[in-house]
Amino acid sequence: QAAKPNVVVLATGGTIAGAGASAANSATYAAAKVPVDKLLAGLPELANVAKVSGEQVFQIASESFTNEHLLRLGQRVSALAKQADVDGIVITHGTDTLEETAYFLNLTVRTNKPIVVVGSMRPGTALSADGALNLYDAVTVAASKDAAGKGVLVTMNDEIQSGRDVSKTINIKTEAFKSQWGPLGMVVEGKNYWFRAPVKRHTTNSEFNIDDIKALPAVDIVYGYGNMNTTGIDAYGKAGVKALIHAGTGNGSVAAQAVDSLKALRASGVQIIRSARVPDGFVLRNAEQPDDKYDWVVAHDLRPQKARILAMVALTKTNDSKELQRIFWEY
Ligand SMILES: NC(=O)C[C@H](N)C(=O)O
């Protein structure tokens, strides 16, 4: 029998490492409690698909992820991916910001080896906990040659999703991770079934490289709503933000009373990136606002939190708005 592939599980915390007081506690529990060794020991079936080793990188709930966590995790993933004795990497992660980390790695880690980010909606102590199967699926995908070159992937709820496209769309329920463009495939009983492949640039085809990124610039998000005021926009400007994501209403529309503040910020050198608070669809250039005239960028189909990740990564290389727009189309 051929040797099993080597998969490293990098644990960062989240509900997949959570524990509640009773089996009835599906939503009330503490995240980031169970160490990686215990997670892996509780899943002996992993030995059927790979030779698995674990490493505790952080033990936090993912809402508390910072740019420093992103950089440290990315550097560790990159170093492991260069090792000849590592075939695939799994990252266990809280679900709240899982999509941001997955996209960050997708943009910056230069490897063809499968990288799979996984979490759970219920702690392992709960009835119908989903973490064990999600993790088994993640290791299955990370151990598979057919998962190579598809960018960073996410396995939740039997589906294989693109880390670029996927978002958490509901709390409480286990079918939380969706993409408007659909999953790439499914993973069932230790086997992958593929239906499509990503077309946006990622990993080995990316112009960004985590090994060259030492710090990420300040990029923040303001939310559009009825009766919007400019307090947030002006405060972020004063705080020295390098780009501001506007999570606009509808097709990324901007309230008339906010336009002047955003124009003033742009005039001071801050990049303005028009995204939308609407979950799906995409923002068109020069629709709703004259982006060419104001020298603003549109976020394409990226949700505000994903637009923030791409803006930070892009700004490590360029502060040219035309280049930024090209990057938003291509990634
Ligand atoms: N389901 C989860 O993992 C939620 C948790 N708050 C986290 O993101 O760490």
Report residues whose beta carbon is within 6 angstroms of any ligand 1 atom: 14-15, 31, 61-63, 94-96, 119, 121
Active site residue 95: yes
Q: What is the pLDDT of residues 269-284, one digit of tens each?
A: 999 999 999 999 999 9
What number is the ipTM of this complex?
A: 0.97
Long-range residue pairs from 64-68, CB within 8 A, at least 24 positions apart, any chain: 65/12, 65/94, 65/97, 65/100, 65/101, 67/215, 67/216, 67/312
For residue 1, pLDDT over 80 is answered with: no
* pLDDT classification of 202: cutoffs 50, 70, 90: very high
Pocket test for ligand 1, best of 28, 62, 63 (most atoms within 8 A of CB): 62
CA of 8 to the centre of ligand 1 (A): 21
Pocket test for ligand 1, best of 65, 66, 93, 96 (most atoms within 8 A of CB): 96
Q: Which residue puts its alpha carbon closest to atom 7 of ligand 1? A: 94
Q: Which residues are annotated as a binding site?
A: 62, 95-96
* pLDDT classification of 139: cutoffs 50, 70, 90: very high
Q: Which residues are annotated as a binding site for substrate?
A: 62, 95-96
The predicted model scores a pTM of: 0.98
Rounded mean pLDDT of the chain?
98
